[in-house]
Amino acid sequence: MRHEVWIPPVHRDLTGGVERVQVEAATVGDIVAILDARFPGMAARLTQDGRLRPGIAVAVDGVIAQRGLRQRLTAPSDIHFIPAMAGG
């Protein structure tokens, strides 16, 4: 199943400026693996010790995924990796 993955601006240095890509995947973890194959270094930016990095969330069709990398994708979806915002 095909998904549209939006790349946050902070990670676009790895994608050559590409802001979204189409991928076929069954889970969020699969998406990270595919992104890392296409854009080396992406997994290191998004994950740590087999989980999403602290400060990174993933939204599937606008809803924050509670299962992180294990979140299953049962329909074509918009996927957003959301880095935490600093400031105050």
Whether the per-residue pLDDT at 74 is higher than 80: the answer is: yes
DSSP assignment string, 9-45 = GGGHHHHTT--EEEEE-SBHHHHHHHHHHHSTTHHHH
pTM of the model: 0.92
Q: Which fold has domain 2-83?
A: Ubiquitin-like (UB roll) (3.10.20)
pLDDT in tens, 5-22: 999 999 999 999 999 999
* Domain boundaries of the chain, sorted by first residue: 2-83
pLDDT value, residue 85: 66
